[in-house]
Structure 1
Amino acid sequence: MKITLIRNATLWLEYGGLNWLVDPSFADQGSTPAIPHVPDSRPNPLVPLPATAESLSSPDILLLTHLHPDHWDEPAAKALLAGRGGSELPILAQPGDRERIASFGFSDVTEIEKTLTYRDVTITRTSGQHGIGEIGQKMGRVSGFVLRARNEPTLYIAGDTIWCDDAVQALDTHRPDVTVVNAGGAQFGEGDPIIMTPEDVASLCRHNADTAIVAVHLEAINHCQTTRETLASEMKQQGLQDRVRIPADGETLAF
């Protein structure tokens, strides 16, 4: 298995003999408004793509955890429609998202309620909690996915979730070899973080000592308050630096 971080939560996976694109957001740097009432007022995304949209436009399959614009946007949809798969690109998504995805022009959209198998890869949907209280409710439903295939590590893509019972259940049930966490500590002007913080990542490490952790969703959106340097420093202070890998945009990790 190889995992390439593109930017934010966008991943390119080589898994089970397939090329997977996860949560593509291809917007140009600075092309969308900043999220208001946070310390960093720069427009989003904060950084450019490390590759061209065209070079990312022909995966074998697309996996979407949810449809917030930093995980799925119009530039990505247009690039994928122009790619090899075109409107027939297979897309896997959480329940309730098919209609919106299809509205971009895609015809092969499958909602995963629990588990399905695609070309010898078993994909199981997990739940998450995109914040707590009123903000968590407003953020809506989000999902993660566990991938299993013969001769591959079990991979858990946690999605936009904080450390919560849903994440604990996913770890305990699936015992993943590798876990990808969105660890940018995103937070609005009021309320608690809506994705994992360094403290959450440390809690995950301690809960499951066997899973290798890949931390993404960092330094690309203006309300993400955790930097790579901050996360690395916190992991080192807690003696967890060997457990957590923090790739740069465009970097590929092999497992």
Structure 2
Amino acid sequence: MPTTAITYIGGPTALLEYAGLRIVTDPTFDGPQTYSAPGTTTLVKTRGPGVSRTELGAVDLVLLSHHGHKDNLDYEGLELIAGGVPTFSTQQAATDLFGGSLIGLDDWESQEIGGLTVTAVPALHGPAGSEQRTGPVIGFVLEAPGEPTVYVSGDNASLPLVGQIGERFPDIDIALLFAGAARIPAVDAPLTLTSADAVTASRMLGAGIVVGLHTEDWQHFSESRDDLRAAFAGTGMLVLTPRGERVVLAER
């Protein structure tokens, strides 16, 4: 069976090699800059990607947790999707982006591609009631015959939802968790998992392998990659993923 491997690119973005497919999570490939528009929260990107979009090579699938925030889909990320790469995201993204290759999924809806089954799972981008401000978000569970089951959290901050996902998928082997405890002035709570919550989520899922994403490169993260490592110290779960380097997660 193919090797499961990951290359951490930056922010929420990684290249996951799984079941023979090359899969990109929340594509952000812009250089450092400030994103500001009327009626939106200004976001500041502090570092560019470890692998540029042009260096990325072939991509078989994009998993886009949501499209409304530049720290999850930036201009270069849009260029990647516009090139016709099959993309799974929210129904709102499918409506707004009008992409023929973008398929909107509801919670618990599954789609197959290349022998891989992708199931959209619920996510909450902040505390209860924040949906009106932060918009719809989803995560993903990936399954393929003979392969480890993979959970990609997207910008989820809700442990109760993690519990629901664990009940539906009791055999999750690898968890890609968006942490960083993102914060904005308008919401007095983390919009993504804290480092401590990431540890709790991993244990709730029974995941033996954890990859931390979305912990650096943006000013609105209140916890760092070092904070995540400290929270997981002694657990043996967190895999170190040097920027731009391919790391094998599982071999069959």
TM range (shorter): 0.7 to 0.9
Partner of residue 162 from structure 1, selected from 152, 157, 164? 157
* 1:183 alignment partner in structure 2: 179
Q: Kindly indicate whether the alpha-carbon contact (under 8 Å) linking 2:181 and 2:193 is maintained by their aligned counterparts in 1.
A: yes
Distance 1:17 1:209, change over 3 A: closer
Letter in 1 for 2:168: T
Partner of 1:15: 18
One-letter amino acid of the counterpart of residue 155, structure 1: V
Q: Is the 8 A contact 1:128 1:162 kept in 2?
A: yes
CA–CA distance in structure 2, aligned partners of residues 46 and 57 of structure 1: 24
CA distance 1:171–1:215, change in 2 (3 Å):
same
Q: How does 1:32-181 map to 2 (within 5 A)?
A: 32=35, 44-56=44-56, 58-67=58-67, 68-81=69-82, 86=83, 88-102=84-98, 106-113=99-106, 114-174=109-169, 175-181=171-177
- Which digits, 9 at most, give the CA deviation of each residue in 1:126-183, with x for residues without a partner? 0011111454531111100001112221110011011421111112221210011111
Deviation at 1:32? 3.0
How far apart, in 2, do the equivalents of 1:204 and 1:214 lie?
Answer: 12
Per-residue deviation, 1:195:
0.3
Give 1:234 shift.
Answer: 2.6
Instruction: Name the CA shift for 1:135/1:229 in 2 (closer, same or farther; >3 Å).
Output: same
Deviation at 1:99, TM superposition (A): 2.5
1:223 aligns with 220
Distance 2:52 2:114 in 1: 28
Percent identity (aligned) = 25
8 Å contact from structure 2 (residues 35, 70) kept in 1: no
Name the residue aligned to 2:243: 249
What's the CA shift for 1:19? Answer: 1.2
Q: Give 1:247 deviation, angstroms.
A: 2.2
1:207 alignment partner, SS class: helix
Q: What stretches of structure 2 of length at least 5 have no aligned partner?
A: none
Q: 8 Å contact 1:163–1:203 — kept in the other structure?
A: no
**TM norm structure 2:** 0.85
Q: What is the rounded CA distance, in whole Å, between the counterparts of 1:31 and 1:187 in structure 2? A: 16
The equivalent of 2:5 in structure 1 is 2
SS in structure 1 of the partner of residue 111 of structure 2 = strand
For the residue of structure 1 that corresponds to 2:17, the secondary structure is strand
Determine the C-alpha separation between the residues in 2 that align with 1:110 and 1:97: 8
> How has the CA–CA distance of structure 1 residues 187 and 136 changed in structure 2, closer, same or farther, with 3 Å as cutoff?
farther
Mapped partners of 1:19, 1:115: distance in 2: 19
Shift of 1:213: 1.3
Partner amino acid for 1:70?
Answer: D
C-alpha RMSD over aligned residues: 2.3
* Partner Cα distance (1:244, 1:80) in 2: 30
User: 1:24: which partner in 2?
Assistant: 27
Task: Provide the C-alpha distance between the structure 2 equivalents of 1:208 and 1:20, rounded to a whole number of angstroms.
Answer: 22
- The number of aligned residues is 238
C-alpha separation in 1, matches of 2:243 and 2:196: 23
SS of the residue corresponding to residue 44 of structure 1 reads strand
Deviates more, 1:44-53 or 1:115-124: 44-53
Cα separation, 2, equivalents of 1:210 and 1:108: 31
CA apart distance, 1:112: 2.1
Cα pair distance change 1:56/1:210, threshold 3 Å: closer
SS at match of 1:54: coil
Change (3 A) 1:21 1:210: closer
**What amino acid does structure 2 have at the position aligned with 1:182?**
F
Conserved 8 A contact 2:65-2:139: yes
Match of 1:195 in 2: 192
Higher strand proportion, which one? 2
Could you say what secondary structure the match of 1:195 adopts?
Answer: coil
**C-alpha separation between the residues in 1 aligned to 2:129 and 2:57?**
36
